[in-house]
Copies of this chain bind each other. A is one copy, B any other.
């Protein structure tokens, strides 16, 4: 059986001790978000996740969404838990109080995102896209639109979707065909088909607010001619009440290898009324407000599923007896957790997961600064760091999620392959995360061709590392870790110079190496954050020796055992692309 107990202690460690972003701590409204309050929230969050949402994971896998007579039904129990979920206000956690939200910072809501991902990704997705829609409308919608739609979305009574993909276009949004034509009012009529629409239809909310990319007549070709529209499933009158159906129909749902409790829809827009969000032909950039935050959240999904896989495998390894460990001279068999090779697997998971959680927390502070700091220049700088790390978190966390769920199955042996144990579901559920919201290849290209080309952004990121190294020098126990991070940084700089699209490296060499570069970047970021965790662990050591001993042990493991992987990506990349491009594939 899968096991999940929310890692509140680890989260509180981060909130208490890694909250060292000066700009974050200057944000007035977050000054009152103190340790006690956060602990209360996380404990409540743990409760609903462990008790109500976690059991939905298996239910959803065994009773996938059903599409019948044009209607999508979610798995048994989803409706009841969703009601409780919105009644307790969980959809509004990080939203603006102006629209009914609780105004919590990302530093807190990201923990909640992780817990939800650990409990049931399928269930989570119904509210996750609502938050995406909320962000997009909040930043690009008119006052009228915001006032009409946001309160219901924040309350969770209405949900949201992102409608980008069409049969002929996934990664390449320039190929979008859906059309939008002015209908004489302030609205448009939309026609076209969208596929792979998460939560595109379901029975949990009264209305569904679709955010749809489409082309207006005479729009420029490619991505420069795409506009964004808000298309509700049901008409919404001026007073906010709901009318009859709009022209959006579900023609089918996908049968998938995982997240079977989440409905993935084919939506047909037939003269559907929509309202333009943001300026004409600038839809893609508005949508990216939603996409960018979503991408971080997808990374958190990978982290969350990894945590459940780890806990489940750990639990099993404390129950299953098999063979004898090296130091056993008795005739009894040992629990498998005594075996060095099982411990290696568990420590791989643990050191990566705790590093990721810390990096996500560090990043959340940057997100909060980028959204809420009073000074524009500070916001901008934080926003750039967020932009730089978004593809890394999205891809690295989800790829590691595959490694970790895979290792968890392996620890179960033959039982891991059976449905009964549930651990294989985590492996299947996680498999979507390296794909959706931009495949991990697209993320890697985004990192290389768009993000690192902003020299000052990259330099400002490196300054964070240098600062950490500088402070850590005070503790000589960190000497070897500093040396490690320093060497890695050196390679990162060389790698970055080599792969810089503005440099002399042939473009195919660069394209063929983006994936390796991103992986290197990921391992590097975790090394940086582990250095910080180690420093904080020594600083606070006396307050909780048991906790910090384990942290220090885990950090050391990361430096010894995981970091050696990074270099191979560099060496593979710089060998160029002669044979990659030379293949005939006949």
Residues of A within 8 A of B (CB): 165, 168-172, 174-175, 195-196, 221, 254-258, 314, 318, 321-323, 326-327, 331, 333, 337, 339-344, 346-347, 350, 402, 406, 409-410, 413-414, 416-420, 424, 427-428, 431-432, 434-436, 439-441, 444-445, 507-508, 511-512, 514-515, 546, 549-550, 553-554, 556-557, 560-562, 564-569, 571-572, 575-586
Contact = CB atoms under 8 A, between A and B. Distances in A.
B417 A435 contact: yes
B413 A439 contact: yes
A340 B576 CA distance: 11
Given A346-B583, A441-B410, A560-B572, A255 B511 contact: no
A511 B326 contact: yes
B170 A583 contact: no
22 contacts: A171-B323, A175-B322, A255-B418, A256-B417, A314-B585, A326-B507, A326-B508, A327-B508, A340-B580, A340-B581, A343-B583, A344-B512, A346-B585, A347-B580, A409-B431, A413-B435, A414-B436, A553-B582, A556-B578, A560-B576, A564-B571, A565-B572
Contacts of A566: 568
Contacts of A333: 172, 174-175
B413 A171 contact: yes
A440 B511 contact: no
A495 to B, nearest CB: 13
A195 to B, nearest CB: 8
A347 B413 contact: no
Contacts of A562: 572
B257 A340 contact: no
B427 A414 contact: no
Contacts of A439: 410, 413
A196 B582 contact: no
Contacts of A565: 568, 572
Nearest to A322: B172
Instruction: State the number of copies, please.
Output: 2
A29 B496 CA distance: 60
Nearest to A350: B583
Contacts of A341: 441, 444-445, 511-512, 514-515
Contact of A347 (B331, B561, B583): B583
B579 A560 contact: yes
A557 B585 contact: no
Contacts of A427: 257, 431
- Residue among A318, A567, A580 with the highest chain B CB neighbour number at 10 A: A580
Nearest to A565: B568
Contacts of A557: 579-580, 583
Contact of A172 (B196, B323, B342, B564): B323
Contacts of A546: 584, 586
Given A174-B323, A346-B583, A553-B579, 10 more contacts: A172-B323, A254-B419, A318-B585, A326-B508, A340-B508, A546-B584, A550-B586, A553-B584, A560-B578, A561-B580
Nearest to A343: B580
A487 to B, nearest CB: 13
Given A511-B326, A565-B572, A583-B557, A340 B577 contact: yes
Nearest to A582: B553
A323 B196 CA distance: 19
Contact of A414 (B165, B322, B339, B417): B165
A344 B515 contact: yes
Nearest to A314: B585
Contacts of A326: 507-508, 511
Q: Which 5 A-B pairs have the closest CB atoms?
A: A340-B511, A564-B571, A557-B579, A560-B575, A340-B512
A183 to B, nearest CB: 31
Contacts of A331: 221
Contacts of A339: 511
Given A435-B416, A511-B341, A322 B170 contact: yes
Contact of A561 (B511, B575, B585): B575
A571 B566 CA distance: 11
Nearest to A440: B410
Contacts of A318: 585
A417 B258 contact: yes
Contacts of A165: 414
- Residue among A416, A432, A441, A565 with the highest chain B CB neighbour number at 10 A: A441
A579 B534 CA distance: 14
A431 B424 contact: yes
Nearest to A402: B406
B418 A254 contact: yes
- Residue among A331, A414, A512, A572 with the highest chain B CB neighbour number at 10 A: A414
A347 B549 contact: no
A503 to B, nearest CB: 15
A165 B507 CA distance: 54
A582 B255 CA distance: 44
B581 A343 contact: yes
B419 A256 contact: yes
A318 B584 CA distance: 12
